[in-house]
Amino acid sequence: MSVSERTPPAPSAARMEDVAKRAGVALGTVSNVINQPQKVSRATIDKVQRAIAELGFVPNRAARALAAGTSNTIGVVIADLSNSFFVDMARGAESIAAESSINVVLANADMRRSKQAANLDLFRQERMAGILLAPLPGADGSLLTGRNRTPLVFLNDAAIEGACTVSVDNEYGGYLAASHLLAIGRRRLLFAGDPAQAVPIADRLRGVERAVRETAGASLELSPTPEVQADDGRTLGFAIAHRPESERPDGIVAAADLLALGLVQILGADASIRIPEDIAITGYDNNRAAWESLIPITTIAQPGEQIGAVAMALLLEEIRDPEGHEHTHSVLEPTLVVRASTQRT
C-alpha cells in the first residue's frame, strides 16, 4: 500500500456553503444563525449548529462581515504614529466610536506610501465597515479606489471629491504664527518648509505672506527643507547660525513642530544667539516636540481630537445611510499657544 493510500489527504477548511449543505438550509440561513439568531427558529439554529460542530467550521471576522454585509469595526490609518497630533486624531475617533459600541483598529503608515497602501488594502479585504485615513502629503481621489468600495473619510486634508474630509484652516494658522512674531516686534521673518511638498504647508505659507503684507517694514524669506523632520531643522539651523548676524532672521515660522525643534536645538546651543531675544521661533501642530523641548516652542495647536471625533461622526453617518449621505468638507480653526521660544515669562 502506498503512502498516499495509507494517509488520506487533510480535509480543506470548511466553508459556510458546506455548513448550509450539511444542514440542508440556505446560505443566508447560516449567516442569520451566526449573525442574527433572533431571526431563526430554535430548531433551525440547532440543526445549523450541529453542522458547524460536525464540520469544524470557524466563522472568522472577514467571513461574518461578508455574509452579513456589515461589520462593527472601523480601520484608522495614520501617517505617523510618532507624531502625537495623529495620535490625538485616533483618540478622538475612538471616543465617538465607543459611544456606538464600534471597535477601532489602528494602523501606522510610518510616512511610507507603500505601507499606507498596504494598510488600506488590508482593511478593505477585512471588510471593515469604514476607514478613517490621515494620509501622507499629496493625497487625492485615487485613494478611494480599491477592491471594495468601503466608506472612507480623510483627516487633516483639504476637500477631495467623492469623500468627506476634516481639515484645519492652515492659512489662518500661518497667519496666526506670523502675526504673533510681528506683534512682538520681529520684522525679518523666515518661513521654514517647502510649499511644494504638501498643500497644508503651502496654505501655511500663504497665511504668513498675508500677515507680512499687512505690516509695514516686514520682510519674508523662504527656506524650503526636504522634509519637516528634526534633522531638516538642524541642517537649516546650522546654515542660519553661520550667517553674519545682520543677515539672520529675527523670527522663524517653521511649518511643523519637529522642524522647529531641530532649529531650537542648534540655534539655542549657539553662544552668539539667544532665543527668543535674537531669533524667535514658532512651530505648527502642538505635539510633544513643542512642549518637551528644552526651550518650549510657541506653536499653532491643531484640534487633533476634534478632527478625529468629527471625522468618525461623518463616517458613521455615511455607513448608516449611504444613500442619503452627502459628503462634507469640514474645516476647523487652529489656535496660538505661546511658549518660551517667542516670549520669556
- Dump pLDDT digits (tens) for 140-189: 656 666 555 788 999 987 667 788 999 999 999 999 999 999 999 999 99
> What pLDDT shows up at residue 13?
64
Q: Which residues, in sequence order, are CB contacts of 84 under 8 Å at separation 6+?
A: 287, 288, 304
What are the grid coordinates assigned to 267, written together? 540655534
Q: Which amino acid, 77? A: V
Asked if residues 315 and 151 have their Cβ atoms less than 8 Å apart, the reply is yes
DSSP 285: B
**Per 3-state DSSP, what percentage of the chain is helix, strand, and coil (rounded to 5)?**
45, 15, 40
Separation CA 79–CA 155 (nearest Å): 10
Asked if residues 252 and 192 have their Cβ atoms less than 8 Å apart, the reply is yes
Is the confidence at residue 320, as pLDDT, over 60?
yes
DSSP 296: P
Residue 215 to residues 108, 175, 284: CA-CA distances in angstroms?
Answer: 42, 12, 22
Query: From the CB of residue 88, how many other CB atoms can be counted at a distance below 10 Å?
Result: 20
Tell which residue, 310, 311, 302, 309, has the closest CA to residue 336. 302
The model scores a pTM over 0.75: no
Separation CA 221–CA 217 (nearest Å): 14
Separation CA 300–CA 178 (nearest Å): 10
Helix (H, G, I), strand (E, B) or coil at 137: coil
| Backbone dihedral region for residue 56 (phi beyond 0: left; psi -120 to 50: alpha; all else: beta) | left
Peptide bond before 303: cis, by omega within 30 degrees of 0? Answer: no
Separation CA 341–CA 265 (nearest Å): 11
Tell which residue, 160, 170, 164, has the closest CA to residue 200. 170
Torsion of CA 331, 332, 338, 339, to 10 degrees: -90
Tell which residue, 86, 97, 158, has the closest CA to residue 130. 97
Using pLDDT thresholds of 50, 70 and 90, give the confidence band for residue 60.
low
Separation CA 239–CA 233 (nearest Å): 10
Query: pLDDT higher for 268 or 15?
Result: 268
What are the grid coordinates assigned to 90, written together? 485616533
Query: pLDDT higher for 170 or 5?
Result: 170
> What pLDDT shows up at residue 150?
85
CA neighbours within 13 Å on the CB side: how many for 269? 11
Query: pLDDT higher for 101 or 297?
Result: 297
Q: What are phi and psi of 220, to 5 degrees?
A: -135, 135
pLDDT, mean over the chain: 87
Q: What is the pLDDT of residues 221-242, one digit of tens each?
A: 999 999 999 999 999 999 999 9
Q: Which amino acid, 22? A: R
Separation CA 69–CA 75 (nearest Å): 16
First to last CA, the chain: 90
Tell which residue, 132, 120, 126, 123, has the closest CA to residue 90. 132
Asked if residues 34 and 40 have their Cβ atoms less than 8 Å apart, the reply is no
State the average pLDDT over residues 311-318.
93
CA neighbours within 13 Å on the CB side: how many for 250? 15
